[in-house]
Structure 1
């Protein structure tokens, strides 16, 4: 081969090289990869390079300070944070909060107090108000005196905000909303309170109000992590895939500084199905964070791991959760479930909550309804999880939750069920169950309900004593009647049938007869409902549709009339509904 041909052949075989674009984003991504592997020295190096490419971007500097803080190099971290405040962006007031944390870790409590007060004075609506309040308590304990907070503008609403957060965690959403709305009226720029108000609206099923409130937070502070995470969950619930996708691009690139924010981001990512990213953050917390002793964190890491197919790692995390929390049933339950997942007999859990699945809880409680009532009254976590399931569970779970909430029957439950009635996204059948439960627990005032796109007012027709329980046999009668009446009677008449059934049970309780023939009682209810609304109905039709004898229907109809006196009241019957214009 000639020299020329060899040169051409060599030239043709030359590999194509794709140029690598070296910029701040490139080094940021490399830093995050190093964080995933817990290579903090490399992460620090890459964050330094990102700073070199974008020296005026304060976020890069804060990332570098955060890595130094996690490595225990607090003084170096503080130098960077002060340079951000003095030279790059004095408006990044969160740097004062980071400084306070560093000083506290160095046991320089006077300096920590000074930095924290500077943060609260300069950023009364900052995203770290909740964490700052906890740090204030710690500093007060370490300094053995009250913290110097006389000039903190946000402190006047802090105690009210703490109370509202406690109510939220306990599932008392309506009470929390009232307090949070008052706080925002007094201090519109209190973003933490506005953020929690958005959550409270969401828990009550007021989706549009929740999104609007969280959007207001992001208009004031586009990088507010709590608001971004809350909005991601809202979008997922509403099925807004395009909006969620754009938001997730932003959250995937976020590297929070504070452990509480890492936890918030990780759980949010898990809830929306981003298990890989969630797992990365959970592992980071477990290796370096102050939350590593929390059993729930090990459970969350296990849930993320099992959804990624890392079953051995999931088993290790759940076993550690058992060691940390031996009295809890949760880790042991999921370890047992893991055995079935390994052989393909079960699917990975999809939720990130540190409690048993609802179907499992109901299995353990169905033999003793009183246990449900006590658990809902005494355990805030169970109570709030029931309210969550009322909004996000499947149909069967929602029916169980509605019936269980009826055992508590406090004002918060009543408000939650009333909000459920006007949610256009809920099934009409579920709303009928909710109406029944409300009537059975003694709610006799008018109820606003959205049925099939129409907003109606259910007027109370008769007073009933409150039923202390709701029996499954009573529910079976109701469901049989609704099955036959749904295509023949409108929602007005179906509601009157339900009200009549509750009225009868209330009048004869506790001497309710044995309901051996649900179909016979259901036919009797339809019979009296038709009579009340001047509808023509024959025994022959009822016998044919319900599959029971005329004698049975007549006997049960007479029992209902004996208790409720329907024949005497028929000429006084008034419409039960009026439709909103």
Structure 2
């Protein structure tokens, strides 16, 4: 009886089972129900699942962007809306209105303005046209100027082009960025953000005159554009116009930015200009304004604190940067530096750069430890690549030489274009330009090369003798000196091994080659190492006398050569 009853119950249960349809509509309904109950985390989860089920449905995507915006995730919301416009429905122009609202909430007022202009140009009678006009009016008040008005023709692709140019600048590909920004500013002469970025790109490539002209164009159109004034102050400092720089710095210090974006610009500019106390005050104020500070902001505060002698504060903020960005080497490096500086009694601490990256010298040291990985490392790290291009245009002579030697390991169009421009610059030393010519040849860049050497224009054609810079000629003379000394006393095999050992040594050490103070010292060491490899009876004292150098000099160079051979 019990078995029969159990069987009846089981059949009854089977009849009551209903298969759930786990499609996008199901998750959409769950999301709406969660929203009605103010369960935003659950609603976000269900909207994400709805998008996963139907990634080509723009409604699902916009709902996801909406809940992200509602929760304060404005940047991620705009990323979703960008995806809708790029991959799902390029004609869903209302996305620009939503993106404008997100940008305004992030206090990126100029960007919000651009989104609204785009929306009104594409849909002048759209559902949100009236609200968009009101927002433009409000943004005009916020930015302290007349509100912008949409043009008569839509600006297809302008925003995407500007973003592409910005990314190129971050990657150090300034020449390509300049080309895009020039096109943008010619098509849209009132696009201030593009004009300011073009001025910066000119500055990064060493074209100071063009940078100055572009800044002036911005100030003619917008006399209170803080980005342009900050860029002009940096330009004055670079040109050594200290009186003009000081006047402008005094004016900038009196400026009280109301927007986060402007406060960032002022703080970083003051840091570049060496006005570290003002930079410290700006970044501390930003910390109070930002609900969730980025690791880079903690770094900026720490740098300003260190540069103003507030070492305990610097340690505190680099530790916060380390907690926020545990994968980054930057906070760890500077925390270690603080420990070292604490033991340098009576010695001045170096001024630290505000860039959220390792110092250029440290990057170079890490990279040159493995030349085989060098191109890949720079490709994967845009900030590192950018710092190399910056150092070529603005570093000292030794730094420029190191960068040029590193460039021969990076084979791409941007490096080639940069080197071709570099060899034509009047203000650069001829020896540096000869090194750049050598790198171009080693890269296999097609001739002719047009350069300016000795104050005159020179063209190197395919039949021209190869250009060899002085630093390489010196190392060639070491091998020639050694082979001349070994001639007639050693076998051909020994002479060939001297060439192999010397080539291997240079490849292993390049580009951080030791300085050659005396050719004969290295020649003697090379002869001794080769003789020892073949079991020949010879001492360091003997080769030292042959080459008329000190035994200690030979011994020091022998140790360097043998370290390479052992590897």
Q: So what's the TM-score if we normalise by structure 1?
A: 0.57
Contact 2:99–2:112 (CA under 8 A) maintained in structure 1: no
| SS of residue matched to 1:456 | strand
* Corresponding position of 1:180: 181
User: Are residue 371 (structure 1) and residue 373 (structure 2) matched?
Assistant: yes
Q: Is the 2:234–2:273 Cα contact (8 Å) retained in structure 1? A: yes
Structure 1 residue 476, shift from structure 2 partner: 5.0
Partners of 1:210 and 1:407 lie apart in 2 by 30
Find 1:415's aligned residue among 408, 417, 431.
417
Residue in 1 that maps onto 2:248: 247
Q: In the alignment, which residue of structure 1 is the partner of 2:111?
A: 130
Residue 258 of structure 2: SS of its match in structure 1? Answer: coil
5+ residue gaps, structure 1, are: 1-102, 121-126, 138-144, 465-469, 484-507, 524-546, 549-581
- Which has the higher Rg, Structure 1 or Structure 2? 2
Q: Using the TM superposition, give the Cα deviation of residue 449 of structure 1 relative to its aligned residue in structure 2, in angstroms.
A: 2.5
CA offsets 1:216-256 (integer angstroms, 9 cap, x no match): 11111111111111122222222121221121122111111
- RCO comparison, higher one (Cα < 8 Å, 6+): 1
What's the C-alpha RMSD, in Å, of the aligned pairs?
4.2
| 8 Å Cα contact 1:113-1:136 kept in structure 2 | no
1:220 and 1:104 map into 2 onto residues whose CA distance is 38
2:48 matched residue in structure 1: none
Aligned residues of 2:218 and 2:228 also touching (Cα < 8 A):
yes
Structure 1 Cα separation of the partners of residues 217 and 309 of structure 2 = 39
1:514 alignment partner, SS class? helix
SS of the residue corresponding to residue 130 of structure 1 reads helix
CA positional deviation for 1:286: 0.9
* Residue in structure 2 matched with residue 274 of structure 1 by the alignment: 275
Q: Which residue of 2 aligns with 1:514?
A: 502
- How many residues are paired up? 374
Q: 2:502 aligns to what SS in structure 1?
A: coil
CA contact (8 A) 1:373 1:404 kept: no
For the residues of structure 1 that align with 2:287 and 2:384, how far apart are their CA atoms? 25
Aligned-residue offset at 1:177: 1.3
1:409: how far off? 1.8
Tell me by how many angstroms 1:394 deviates: 2.5
1:222 matched residue in structure 2: 223
Aligned to 1:196: 197
Q: 1:382 aligns to what?
A: 384
Q: 1:155 & 1:194 partners in 2: Cα distance? A: 16
Question: Which residue does 2:473 correspond to in 1?
Answer: 478
**Residue 339 (structure 2) aligns with:** 339
SS at match of 2:459: strand
Q: Distance in 2 between matches of 1:136 and 1:155?
A: 9
Counterparts of residues 83-232 of structure 1 (less than 5 Å): 113=97, 128-130=109-111, 132=113, 152-153=150-151, 155-156=155-156, 157-232=158-233
Change (3 A) 1:480 1:357: same
| Cα contact 2:431–2:470 (8 A) shared by 1 | no
TM (norm. structure 2) is 0.58
Structure 1 residues 314 and 252 mapped into 2: Cα distance closer, same or farther (>3 Å)? Answer: same
1:325 to partner: Cα distance: 0.8
**Higher mean Cα deviation, 240-249 or 358-367?**
358-367
Contact 1:205 1:420 in 2 (8 A): no
Name the counterpart of 2:300.
300
Q: For structure 2, which runs of at least 5 residues remain unmatched after alignment?
A: 1-69, 79-93, 119-125, 134-148, 479-495, 507-515, 524-546, 549-567
